[in-house]
A and B are shown apart, each in its own frame.
Chain A
Amino acid sequence: MTASKRRWLERLAPWIVTIGLLVIWQVVVVAFRIEPFIMPSPSAIFDAFVQYRDSILIHAWQTMVSTLLGFSLGIVVGLLLGIFIGSSRLVYAGLYPVLIGFNSVPKVAMVPVLVLWLGIGQPTAVVTAFLLCFFPIAVNVATGLATVEPELEDVLRSLGASKTDLLIKVGLPRAMPYFFASLKVAITLAFVGAVISETLASNDGIGYLMIQASSQFRVPLMFAGLAVIAAMGVVTYVVFAVIERRVTGWAVRGQNMSISGGGG
């Protein structure tokens, strides 16, 4: 009884928290009579969303496409790079410091360079999204490959397993939980990249919409844009979380699933 109640509560908790925060926000804005151009109330933001929903949705779609393209590119490159780094100590030693250095560069600072190469618009957004999201994927895959037990490697090598065998039979499956964990981080980073690029150099996308709204002091519209980005981020996160649970359920060991009994 209490267990099922608790599970319900767990499932409802995110909604309760979200709605609670919105209610507090609304109450604060109304009670202190804060002007909409400083901090619009949730209801005003919603009104703005309804009013401009066509253009918001068009721009949101643009951002979504840029993000997913950059993200796909990030998956491919990150996975290959991770395998590359993780399976050879020499490559790891040579490449890792370079990667760290690259990752330390703020990607906003790279957008002007990308504009120079790719012009203003979607390609720049895609590449910025990619640049932000491939690193955690590569690092996680490499870590996963590096955690293969040496004993298991010995067992397989004494059976005549090649490096490719080891990678396919053991390395990659072992790295999958790390890979999916990194996807959840990477997809949100891809959104950040796409929106940053749009605010700096684009005529489409939520980022562009925000800049436009800002220049016209349409603050509720800006917040509506932010809300849409947040919603897209949550949705894509959930999608990857579900895929993760499907594919790497073995890594999440259910306590109630284990069998007890010594030696038995």
Chain B
Amino acid sequence: MLALATPPAAMAPSASSGPDTAPSSPPGTPFVQLDGVGLSYGGPQGLKALNNTNMAIEKGRFIAVVGPSGCGKSSLMKLVTGLQPPTQGSVSVNGAKVNGPLKIVGMAFQNPSLLPWRPLLSNVMLPLEIVQPHRSRLRANKAEYLAKARALLETVGLQEFETKFPWMLSGGMQQRANLCRSLIHDPDLLMLDEPFGALDAFTREELWGVLQEVWMERRFTCILVTHDLREAAYLADTIYVMSARPGTIIARHEVDLPRPRTVDTTFEPRFVDLVHTIRSEIAQVRNEAKKAAKAGATKAGTTEQKAS
């Protein structure tokens, strides 16, 4: 069972559950678990980014987190990876409480942030120079790792560009390489923070396909933070909807569309309905947030500009 606290009455429109997409791992043991997690910046009086957030993600699932801007989605990423300790509640990954930065997570952000002084292949292999046990094995087993990196580049269609420098490539190509870099060390957990946010619509849809293919092959646990509802519905098994700040989870939707999904899937009525439902939920939260802001103009209004 995926546990979830039920704040307000917004749980109602959950679509249905999709057992066909679940991997073989035994149910009931969440890989990532958030218990009553809260996060405030700048002390207890400071800006509250997250409030009483509960999540339980099973191993091998693809999760998407959507919500209005500034709802603390990115804070959620930092909490799960241990880059930021929660001010309330606890986060545990793989059965162990998260106390400091996790050491094996793959991460990719909207900004590809490749190293401009390294050619593509060496950029992709960067994590191998840091993560154990690869770090100490890298020099002796160079050929093996090179082959692995090349194979990964091939799956995203970049095999011809391994000697090119990042600034020679288009944004879409850089983002593919970024994805390769986040996967090269076979992470159990992949965190994606709006990875395709800066790309044009066609490239974005193409990369959804690429990501889905890689995920179906390897079945790592993936948490995708996005504001693109179609992206969430295309990629995820489960979509969590967050409220406006202080963010908390207000709804959960299982996406039981069969895989592999294609761009055509996004035009099916079921897909459209799902996106529509989530959109109206978010619209509602936004309106409520606006009203609340007006009501408590002096208090809430001042913190409005600061995003997560």
Contacts and interface: CB of A to CB of B under 8 A. Distances in A.
Nearest to B167: A253
Contacts of A165: 130
A152 to B, nearest CB: 4
Nearest to B80: A158
A251 B81 CA distance: 32
B170 A260 contact: yes
Interface in B71-112: 78, 81-83, 101-109, 111
A250 interface: yes
Contacts of B185: 159
A231 to B, nearest CB: 33
Nearest to B81: A158
Given A151-B109, A151-B113, A259-B168, A160 B103 contact: yes
B173 A155 contact: no
A250 B108 CA distance: 23
B203 A263 contact: yes
Contacts of A160: 101-104, 130-132
Contacts of B173: 263-264
B interface bracket (residues with beta carbon within 8 Å of A): 35 or more
A158 B202 contact: no
A203 interface: no
A262 B171 CA distance: 8
Interface in A148-177: 149, 151-152, 154-161, 165, 169-170, 173, 176
A258 to B, nearest CB: 5
Interface string A243-264: 0000010110100011111111
B152 to A, nearest CB: 16
Given A250-B117, A258-B168, A154 B78 contact: yes
Contacts of A155: 107-109, 113, 181-182
A263 B170 contact: yes
A interface bracket (residues with beta carbon within 8 Å of B): 20 to 34
B213 interface: no
Given A165-B130, A263-B200, A263-B203, A158 B83 contact: yes
A169 B170 contact: no
A173 B115 contact: yes
A170 B113 CA distance: 11
Nearest to A251: B116
Nearest to B105: A158
Contacts of B127: 159
Interface centre among A158, A165, A169, A173 (most CB of B within 10 A): A158
A250 B165 contact: yes
A111 to B, nearest CB: 41
B206 interface: yes
A259 B116 CA distance: 15
Contacts of A149: 111, 113
Interface string A16-40: 0000000000000000000000000
Contacts of B105: 158-159
Contacts of A262: 170, 172, 200, 202-203
B135 to A, nearest CB: 9
Interface string A131-153: 00000000000000000010110
Given A250-B116, A250-B117, A264-B170, A156 B130 contact: yes
B168 to A, nearest CB: 5
Contacts of B164: 259
A245 to B, nearest CB: 13
Interface centre among B83, B167, B171 (most CB of A within 10 A): B167
A109 B36 CA distance: 64
B131 to A, nearest CB: 5
Contacts of A263: 170-173, 199-200, 202-203, 206-207
Nearest to A262: B170
B129 interface: yes
Contacts of A152: 113, 115
A257 B111 contact: no
B229 interface: no
Contacts of A156: 126, 130
Contacts of A257: 168
Nearest to B128: A159
B191 interface: yes
B113 A159 contact: no
A264 B161 CA distance: 11
Contacts of B101: 157-158, 160
Nearest to B113: A152
A260 B167 CA distance: 11
B115 A170 contact: yes
B169 interface: yes
A183 B2 CA distance: 59
Interface in B173-214: 173, 181-182, 185, 191, 199-200, 202-203, 206-207
Interface of A: 149, 151-152, 154-161, 165, 169-170, 173, 176, 248, 250-251, 253, 257-264
14 contacts: A155-B108, A157-B83, A158-B82, A158-B103, A158-B105, A159-B103, A160-B101, A160-B130, A165-B130, A169-B130, A250-B167, A251-B116, A262-B170, A262-B202
Given A169-B129, A176-B117, A260-B170, 9 more contacts: A154-B109, A155-B182, A159-B103, A160-B102, A169-B130, A170-B115, A259-B169, A262-B202, A263-B173
